[in-house]
Structure 1
Amino acid sequence: MQLAQENDVAGYVIAPDPMAPRLTRSVVGHDHTGARTEISVVEERPLTIYLNSQEIVTAMTIGDYPDYLALGFLRNQGMLGPQEVVTGIDYDEELETVVVRTETPTNHEEKLKKKTRTSGCAVGTVFGDMMEGLEGVQLSETEVKTSWLYALSAQINRTPSLYLEAGAIHGTVLCHRDRPLVYMEDVGRHNAVDKIAGWMMANHVEAGDKILYTTGRLTSEMVIKTAMMGIPVLASRSGFTAWGVEIAQQVGLTLIGRMRGQRFVCLSGEERLVRDVDPKSVADEPRRSARKAAQ
């Protein structure tokens, strides 16, 4: 397998490839009537990440973009700072390992002693103090037009994806104004956002004018990662956790959830929003009962 390559689907720099043979496979079963049926299911495989000679973590992932996943994970854990020079990334598909090499030696034994298992699907892991590094975060005050949010939601939800093909997966999309740029998917939303972080780091992409859109819950981990990346706005179709909201308010991140059709709720950073469109002019989605939403 080659390392990350870019494409141009519907204006994206990187878009999902739901037909990629390594990402799904067909499984035969039986439906509710007993009839034989065949469906696509998402593959899940381990990837062990090394920083130089130090083994850091083994993540369960769909296996695409291992270089971006490794870079982004290390960046979001504070193990790769802006001063670090990455000299190479070696991926071995057979051994299911990726090694990130830096110009100078690194030492993270103390950080590795402290692990927090997060609420992310496929179980995320955060090393060290979860709040470490947030004290100095300063997010830009870039304005965000609600027309951009509506346009992004409509386009992203119509984009061909592994979620639409097989389900059981989360997506995260890096956006600039009303244009989605990079759309990553994985079994855990933490992996998807780490791939975004890795792509930004590898390509020296400015974060202060970006929006991060996720299909998953707005948890403390998602808020922390977004703030650490320097992105000032995080939006989702899904809901919030109390700690996620508290941290967003603490660091000044605009947090928007329950984005469906013309509706959304902003629980932090309202001052960035420019309401430049009448919500009634936006196509709405039917409300779902709490019971149906939970199914």
Structure 2
Amino acid sequence: MTGRPEPAPYLIAPDPALPRLTRAVTGTDQSGATVETRVVEERPLTIFLNGQEIVTAMTIGDYPGYLAVGFLRNQGMLRDGEEITGLSYDEELETVVVRTASATTYEEKVKKKTRTSGCAVGTVFGDMMEGLEGVTLPAAELRTSWLYALASRINTTPSLYLEAGAIHGTVLCKADQPLVYMEDVGRHNAVDKIAGWMALEGVPAEDKILYTTGRLTSEMVIKCALMGIPALASRSGFTAWGVEIAREVGLTLIGRLRGQRFVCLAGEERLVRDADPAAVPEEDRKSRRKGAKA
């Protein structure tokens, strides 16, 4: 017994045991020996807004409603206060339909597109930058003790990444507590699932932190800002445009968060250094893999 309280459970966490998300595939290793490995399933999901087909996303297929609502909100197709009157998913047809009380105005400019699972796909629509006009995020503090605690717990949480790899994770957090952990073959899908969950559950953003395993690109920064979340952290690195946008909107941007180390390239004035890095254990390169067996 350590005397420390047990960490609160996730509201949503990955379930790597779900058979629909991975499959076993037989191959050979470097020596020619037969091996069996689990690989992530990838399937199309077509999103409709009212009667209009918007996009086909390649996804692992969990939480289709959250993904659809989050994507539409992050693309500016669903505005704050827009009343969602219906949300239906057809597993056989691999479609999700979002219905609103008011008519939408996107039919004329939307053409059917497929959004691949590749990391460099970029945005499907060009409206995201326009949505940033006038956005200023709340000046919320970010404590380094929270960052270290979040990284330690998230990296040892059972996940599809630990089970099969080839996937990105994004976690919504409050202070040092991870709340909702979403994964998908595209990091943007994982963020959109969280945006959809926040919208449908009415969760405020001003006191939250977004943690991602992916790169801190311009699109990741824009999505975080459009969601109203004032801090974004990642194990990975930055792009220059992502840093510029973070500084413009007042987003605290933390990258290369591994063990004792991290780099802050935006929002340094809101960072509270309340933890001694020397007291934080260095991260074993295999720690995330070990976490799956814990």
Partner of 2:206: 208
When residues 103 and 130 of structure 1 are mapped into structure 2, their CA distance, relative to the original with a 3 A threshold, is: closer
The match for 1:86 is: 84
| TM-score of the pair, normalised by structure 2 | 0.91
4+ long deviations beyond 2 Å: 109-120, 122-126, 285-288
- In 2, distance between residues paired with 1:92 and 1:26? 26
The answer (yes or no) to whether the contact 1:114–1:128 under 8 Å persists in 2 is no
Instruction: Note if contact 1:111-1:128 (Cα within 8 Å) is conserved in structure 2.
Output: no
Taking a change above 3 Å as real, the CA distance of residues 126 and 271 of structure 1, as seen in their structure-2 partners, is farther
For 2:40, the aligned partner's letter is: V
Question: Are the counterparts in 1 of residues 172 and 178 from structure 2 also a CA contact under 8 Å?
Answer: yes
One-letter amino acid matched to 1:148: W
CA offsets per residue over residues 122-179 of structure 1, 9 Å max, x none? 7353312341111121211111110000000000000000000000000000000000
Letter in 1 for 2:89: Y
2:74 pairs with 1:71: no
Matched to 2:181, the amino acid is: Y
Tell me what 1:108 maps to: 106
Counterpart code for 1:195: K
User: Which amino acid is the alignment partner of residue 194 of structure 1?
Assistant: D
- SS of 1:153's partner is helix
- Supply the AA of the counterpart residue of 1:154: S
1:246 aligned residue (241, 244, 247) = 244
Match of residue 227, structure 1, among 225, 236, 250 = 225
Change (3 A) 1:210 1:99: same
8 Å Cα contact 1:116-1:127 kept in structure 2: no
Q: Partner of 1:152 in structure 2?
A: 150
- The equivalent position to 1:188 in structure 2, one of 181, 186, 190, is 186
Residue 13 (structure 2) pairs with residue 15 (structure 1): yes
Answer yes or no: is the 8 Å Cα contact 1:260–1:285 preserved in 2: yes
Q: Note closer, same or farther for the CA distance 1:287–1:36 as it changes in structure 2 (3 Å cut).
A: closer
The residue type equivalent to 1:77 in the other structure is Q
90-99 vs 113-122, which moves further: 113-122
Matched, 1:177 2:175: yes
Deviates more, 1:118-127 or 1:237-246: 118-127
Equivalent residue, structure 2, for 1:140: 138
Which SS does the other structure have where 1:109 is aligned? Answer: coil
Give 3-state SS (helix, strand or coil) of 1:127's partner. Answer: coil
Structure 1 position 113, deviation (Å): 6.0
Name the residue aligned to 1:166.
164
Q: CA deviation digits over 1:29-78, x for unaligned, max 9? A: 01111111101000000000000000000000000000000000000000
Indicate the RMSD between aligned Cα atoms, in angstroms. 2.1
* Structure 1: distance between partners of 2:109 and 2:197: 24
Aligned length: 280
Tell me the SS of whatever aligns to 1:16: coil
3-state DSSP class of the match of 1:267?
A: strand
Identity, % of aligned pairs?
77
Q: Give the Cα separation in 1 of the matches to 2:112 and 2:36.
A: 43
Distance 1:24 1:116, change over 3 A: closer
2:274 counterpart (250, 273, 276) = 276
State the TM-score, normalized to the length of structure 1: 0.90
Superposition deviation, residue 287 in structure 1: 8.3
Unaligned runs of 5+ in 2: 1-6, 287-294
**Partner in structure 2 of residue 266 of structure 1:** 264
Relative distance call for 1:137 and 1:234 in structure 2 (3 A) is: same
Matching residue's letter, 1:38: E
